[in-house]
Amino acid sequence: MSSSFAINLVRSGILQILLLSAPMLLVGMAVGLIIAIFQATTSIQEQTLTFVPKIAAILGSIIIFGPWIFTSMVQFTIRLIESMAVLAK
Give per-residue pLDDT as tens, 34-43. 999 998 899 8
**Interval 15-70: pLDDT, tens:** 999 999 999 999 999 999 999 999 889 988 887 888 999 999 999 999 999 999 99
CB 53 within 8 A of CB 35: yes
- pLDDT at residue 6, rounded to an integer: 83
Domain layout of the chain by residue ranges: 3-88
- pLDDT at residue 83, rounded to an integer: 86
- pLDDT at residue 5, rounded to an integer: 82
- Stated as kind and residue range, the H or E segment containing 21 is helix 3-42
CB 49 within 8 A of CB 31: no
SS3 at position 45: coil
